[in-house]
């Protein structure tokens, strides 16, 4: 069983909160680094392995800079994410640009940066060519359809809006070759928060088989296969982390059988994980503002869905620790809520916790991916600060909390004066 421990004490959080009031997200640099190195070590058995961190999971340049030092690239899906990568010095083929319904200016910027451009649809070949010209290296996103079963979070591939069919891949690569493109890659992404390591090994097998088929039919050589991301994390205490080495060894076996044995090596292997890299090392820290006793007992916090929307939107489980009461018996059943005018603004429903008092501080676990990044301003809620807990126990603010001035910044009050 996984133990949901904390990398900080109540005293450390109180020290941070004295300077940066709750709510805020705090990230554990030591944990992120150790995890990144563990992933690199496991997948280092694969040819030319590179991890492209999915910026969407935690779009903060401080986090990206930490991972850049470990040799990670950046998986970007928009112009702001491309600009973030550029600002931390990730450029060229250190960027994998995977997007859909992409505007021309984003293709232009991606090509300007020398990013690997991963096209989502066969019509985007002409669109990219007209917008920015075709680069030397082009990648296609493959949707395996009925060949691959999806999971709860991303759905069945046949119903997903992403990617090329098998037939479109063949036509697309043929078109690229005829247009003079010499370098080719292939990508797929068919799962999200998946805990079964065999799922990713099967994905590798499918993509390697497609590479073998298309290489044979068109006589082209693939430089890399991006197996996507989607490795899940143990949100619940009874779940186990996905063993990196099991996936890596399984992928290596399929590589040897389908790529090496067919004379298709070298083929570099890429991943674009986000959640598993930073998710377990982030915590939403929130203070108990009110206790409400009606038909149920409610713990009202100073955070809300604007700070972490996954429980309210997906019904996702996030573990909660009451700081200073880690070893107290969990004898009381609560709904843990925020102040948004939506009844699904709940971090936990019927959760057994220690007896809670006003002023207690809660740590909501596993907010290090798709936490702050998915924030919003409904009800005029302001997004919180992000704090990095350094290796030496010090801390630094890496994003300040929003202010009312930020919320009003895009409103044109000048025109309001003359509006009737």
Bridge pairing between strands 282-293 and 268-271: unpaired
Question: Model confidence over 253-301: pLDDT tens digits?
Answer: 999 999 999 999 999 999 999 999 999 999 999 999 999 999 999 999 9
- Domains of the chain in start order, with CATH, are 29-278 (3.20.20.10), 281-408 (2.40.37.10)
CA distance 32 to 398: 15
DSSP 139-203: EEEE--GGGS--BTTTB-GGG-S-SB-HHHHHHHHHHHHHTT--EEEEEE---SSB--HHHHHHH
- Candidates 346, 261, 274; CA nearest to 310 is 346
Residue 185: count of CB within 10 angstroms of its CB: 22
Cβ pair 166, 148 in contact under 8 A:
no
CA distance 216 to 385: 53
- Phi first, then psi, for residue 349 (nearest 5°) are -125, 130
Does 341 participate in catalysis according to the annotation? yes
What are the E-state strand segments in 16-174? 24-28, 50-54, 73-76, 95-98, 116-119, 137-142
Cβ pair 282, 25 in contact under 8 A:
yes
CA distance 199 to 3: 25
Question: Model confidence over 363-419: pLDDT tens digits?
Answer: 999 999 999 999 999 999 999 999 999 999 999 999 999 999 999 999 998 898 888
The residue count of the chain comes to 420
Question: Model confidence over 81-100: pLDDT tens digits?
Answer: 999 999 999 999 999 999 98
Average pLDDT, the chain: 95
- Which structure tokens are listed for 191? 């799962």
CA distance 215 to 69: 35
- Candidates 106, 118, 132, 124; CA nearest to 183 is 118
Bridge pairing between strands 385-389 and 24-28: parallel
- Candidates 324, 331, 337, 333; CA nearest to 288 is 337
pLDDT at 158: 56
Q: Which of 139, 273, 304, 341 is catalytic?
A: 341
Question: Model confidence over 177-235: pLDDT tens digits?
Answer: 999 999 999 999 888 899 999 999 999 999 999 999 999 999 999 999 999 999 999 99
pLDDT at 418: 85
- Which structure tokens are listed for 232? 């899940």
**308 CB-contact burial (10 Å; exposed 0-12 / middle 13-18 / buried 19+):** buried
Bridge pairing between strands 395-399 and 385-389: antiparallel
- Candidates 137, 88, 81; CA nearest to 109 is 81
Q: Which residues make Cβ contacts (< 8 Å) with residue 187, sequence separation at least 6?
A: 96, 98, 118, 139, 140, 141, 142, 225, 226, 228, 270
By mean pLDDT, which of 158-167, 228-237, 247-256, 320-329 is the weakest? 158-167
CA distance 72 to 295: 50
Asked if residue 147 has pLDDT above 70, the reply is: no
Cβ pair 271, 75 in contact under 8 A:
no
């Amino acid at each position: 069983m996984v133990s949901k421990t904390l990398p900080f004490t109540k005293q450390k959080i109180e020290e941070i909160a004295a300077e940066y009031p709750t709510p805020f997200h705090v990230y554990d640099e030591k944990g992120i680094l150790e995890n990144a190195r563990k992933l690199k070590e496991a997948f280092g058995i694969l040819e030319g392995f590179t991890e492209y961190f999915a910026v969407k999971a935690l779009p903060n340049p401080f986090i990206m800079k930490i991972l850049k030092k470990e040799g990670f690239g950046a998986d970007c899906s928009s112009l702001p994410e491309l600009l973030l990568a550029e600002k931390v010095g990730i450029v060229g083929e250190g960027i994998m640009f995977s997007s859909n319904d992409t505007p021309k200016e984003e293709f232009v910027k991606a090509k300007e940066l020398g990013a690997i451009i991963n096209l989502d649809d066969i019509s985007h070949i002409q669109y990219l060519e007209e917008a920015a010209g075709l680069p030397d290296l082009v990648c296609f996103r493959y949707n395996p359809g009925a060949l691959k079963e999806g999971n709860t979070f991303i759905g069945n591939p046949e119903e997903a809006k992403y990617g090329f069919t098998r037939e479109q891949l063949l036509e697309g690569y043929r078109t690229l070759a005829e247009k003079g493109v010499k370098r080719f890659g292939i990508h797929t992404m068919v799962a999200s928060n998946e805990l079964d390591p065999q799922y990713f090994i099967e994905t590798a097998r499918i993509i390697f088989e497609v590479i073998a088929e298309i290489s044979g039919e068109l006589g082209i050589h693939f430089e890399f296969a991006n197996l996507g991301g989607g490795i899940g994390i143990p949100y619940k205490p009874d779940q186990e982390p996905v063993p990196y080495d099991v996936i890596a060894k399984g992928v290596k076996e399929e590589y040897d059988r389908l790529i090496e044995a067919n004379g298709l090596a070298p083929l570099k292997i890429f991943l674009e994980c986000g959640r598993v890299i930073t998710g377990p090392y982030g915590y939403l820290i929130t203070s108990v503002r009110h206790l409400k006793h009606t038909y149920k007992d409610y713990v009202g916090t100073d955070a809300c869905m604007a700070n972490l929307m996954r429980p309210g939107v997906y019904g996702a489980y996030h573990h909660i620790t009451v700081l200073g009461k880690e070893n107290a018996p969990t004898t009381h059943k609560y709904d843990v809520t925020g102040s948004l005018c939506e009844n699904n603004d709940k971090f936990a429903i019927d959760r057994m916790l220690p007896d809670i008092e006003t002023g207690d501080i809660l740590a909501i676990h596993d907010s290090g991916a798709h936490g702050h990044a998915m924030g919003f301003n409904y009800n005029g809620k302001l997004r919180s600060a992000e704090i990095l807990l350094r290796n030496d126990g010090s801390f630094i603010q890496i994003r300040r909390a929003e202010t009312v001035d930020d919320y009003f910044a895009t409103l044109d009050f000048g025109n309001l004066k003359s509006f009737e």
